[in-house]
């Protein structure tokens, strides 16, 4: 896969670092857009006090000259302002693992004497570095008219009815809502549900939908398991902290239906092969089919609850209630930006794989020559043929 990225950094360490490799040369570097996306990631009702302390900004350390990418690895740094309050600080040991958190599994696996090293790296703070990478990929995709966006569908038991809104309408108003839900009524109910949850000293999860518009036909492949775009998107979504499930299109609903009701009929509109419905969510056989990509992801309610839960103090060997660590109450609205990020990275990778090339000058004309889903663009003439000819 042509695009690779890494992140490094702990939640309360000096900084987060991201390295993105594989971006072509000659692409206008979107510094302002990266910082806008970092800002968006910090907004959303249900966040914790940490978000008021940080002012995330990306400092670009390599890969860019004169405002353009030069094809070399792009390194970015996002400082943790909160680090100043933690450096050199004596802190109590933390030995009561939270159910559902990495605390216990990381401590067993790495042999830590305290739970903090595990939570420092597993923290969703890491997603700031990923959002910087994703913003570069989103700007790259935008060069080809491809747009990735997301919004909240449910928070706790509150579901938004979005059936009367087109995908474009949903994306256009998402940031007007404090919970990133395009339906204002549902938004108000979601805010109430989060407020109630905070009063109950608890946390809430939800379902986020991410869509990509303007995709060409032919990204991904059925030829090998790890080239299927479904599998690459699933890995990307499930790599985000607290994501526990995902579907493409109407996957879970389709599982209850007979085949004649679950698929999208293929029709002709002039020369163009079209699908009046999109239950497949834009992918067939691991390959984009030209319809909007639609992904839903299930985020668990985060594990850090003000109300104590059952655990064991690993230092004393006694059953104890959990101790509270500062945290978010409902990070679902903020996670929208993170999911947009990982989907954009996966699609930028798939587009670069399809087109090849090291510079935008090479890549742009190749995009124009991509095969279209039209009868004239397909070399089928109905000639009989022999299978496995000797």
- Tell me if 231 sits within 8 A of 225, measured CB to CB: yes
- 167 contacts 291 by C-beta, under 8 angstroms: no
What is the C-alpha to C-alpha distance for residues 79 and 223, in angstroms, rounded to an integer?
A: 42
Among 128, 186, 233, 363, binds ligand EPS (CB under 6 A): 128
The residue whose two tokens read 């943790």 is: 80
What is the number of residues in the chain?
Answer: 390
Q: Which of 11, 69, 197, 288 binds ligand EPS (CB under 6 A)?
A: 11
Residue 291 contacts residue 280 (beta carbons within 8 Å): yes
14 binds ligand EPS (CB under 6 A): no
Nearer residue to ligand EPS within complex by CB, 166 or 309: 309
- Chosen residue from 138, 304, 305, 346 binding ligand EPS by CB under 6 A: 304
Q: Which residues pair with 78 in a beta bridge?
A: 16, 58
Q: Are 59 and 76 in contact (CB under 8 A)?
A: yes
Across-strand partners of 21? 4
For ligand EPS, give the closer residue by CB, 33 or 39.
39
CB of 88 to ligand EPS, least distance (A): 17
124 in contact with ligand EPS (CB under 6 A):
yes
- Cβ proximity to ligand EPS: between 31 and 327 the closer is 327
The residue range among 165-173, 200-208, 257-265, 323-331 that interacts with ligand EPS, by the rule CB under 6 A, is 323-331
Q: How far is the CB of 79 from ligand EPS (least distance, A)?
A: 12
Nearest Cα to 151, choosing from 119, 179, 131, 114? 179
Binding residues for ligand EPS, rule CB under 6 A, total: 15
Shortest distance, position 119 Cβ to ligand EPS, whole Å: 6
Task: Report in angstroms how near the CB of residue 343 gets to ligand EPS at its nearest.
Answer: 18
CB 193 within 8 A of CB 202: no
Stretch that binds ligand EPS, among 49-57, 71-79, 206-214, 288-296 (CB under 6 A): 49-57
User: Which spans in the chain are helix H?
Assistant: 31-42, 50-53, 83-86, 103-110, 116-122, 127-142, 167-173, 184-199, 229-238, 251-254, 259-262, 332-355, 360-368
Q: Which of residues 54-93 bind ligand EPS (CB under 6 A)?
A: 54, 82
Contacting residue, 14, 22, 28, 48, with ligand EPS by CB under 6 A: 48
**Comparison of 51 and 198: residue with beta carbon closer to ligand EPS:** 51
- Residues 53, 86: Cα–Cα separation, whole Å: 13
Q: Among residues 183, 187, 327, 341, which is the contact residue for ligand EPS, using CB under 6 A?
A: 327
305 binds ligand EPS (CB under 6 A): no
What residues line the site for ligand EPS (CB under 6 A)? Answer: 11, 48, 50-51, 54, 82, 123-125, 127-128, 304, 326-328
């Amino acid at each position: 896969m042509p695009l690779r990225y890494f992140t490094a950094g702990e939640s309360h360490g000096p900084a987060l670092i991201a390295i993105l490799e594989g971006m072509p040369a000659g692409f206008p570097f979107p510094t302002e857009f990266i910082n806008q996306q970092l800002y968006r990631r910090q907004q959303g009702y249900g966040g914790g006090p940490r978000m008021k302390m940080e002012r995330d900004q990306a400092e670009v350390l390599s890969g860019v000259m004169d405002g353009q990418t030069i094809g070399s690895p792009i390194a970015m740094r996002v400082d943790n302002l909160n680090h100043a309050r933690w450096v050199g600080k004596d802190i109590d040991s933390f030995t009561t693992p939270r159910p559902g958190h990495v605390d216990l599994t990381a401590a067993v696996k790495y042999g830590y004497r305290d739970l903090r090293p595990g939570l420092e790296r597993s923290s969703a703070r890491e997603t700031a570095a990923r959002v910087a990478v994703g913003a570069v990929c989103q700007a790259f995709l935008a060069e080809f008219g491809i747009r990735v966006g997301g919004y909240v569908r449910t928070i706790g038991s509150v579901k938004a009815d979005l059936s009367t809104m087109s995908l474009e309408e949903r994306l256009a108003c998402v940031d007007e809502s404090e919970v990133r839900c395009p339906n204002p009524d549902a938004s108000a109910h979601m805010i109430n549900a989060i407020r109630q949850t905070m009063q109950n000293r608890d946390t809430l999860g939800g379902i986020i939908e991410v869509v990509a518009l303007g995709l060409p036909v032919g990204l991904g492949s059925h030829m090998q398991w790890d080239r299927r775009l479904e599998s690459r998107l699933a890995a990307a979504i499930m790599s985000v902290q607290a994501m526990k499930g995902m579907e493409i299109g109407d996957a879970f609903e389709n599982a209850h239906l007979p085949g004649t009701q679950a698929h999208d009929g293929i029709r002709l509109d002039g020369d163009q092969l079209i699908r009046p419905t999109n239950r497949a969510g834009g992918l067939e056989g691991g390959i984009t089919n030209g319809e909007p990509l639609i992904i839903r992801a299930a985020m668990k309610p985060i594990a850090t609850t003000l109300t104590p839960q059952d655990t064991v103090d690993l230092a004393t060997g006694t059953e104890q209630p959990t101790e509270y660590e500062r945290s978010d109450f409902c990070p679902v609205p903020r996670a929208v930006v993170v999911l947009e990020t990982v989907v954009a990275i996966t699609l930028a990778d798939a587009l670069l794989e399809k087109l090849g090339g090291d510079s935008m000058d090479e890549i742009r004309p190749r995009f124009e020559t991509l095969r279209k889903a039209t009868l004239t663009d397909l070399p089928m003439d109905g000639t009989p043929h022999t299978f496995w000819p000797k």
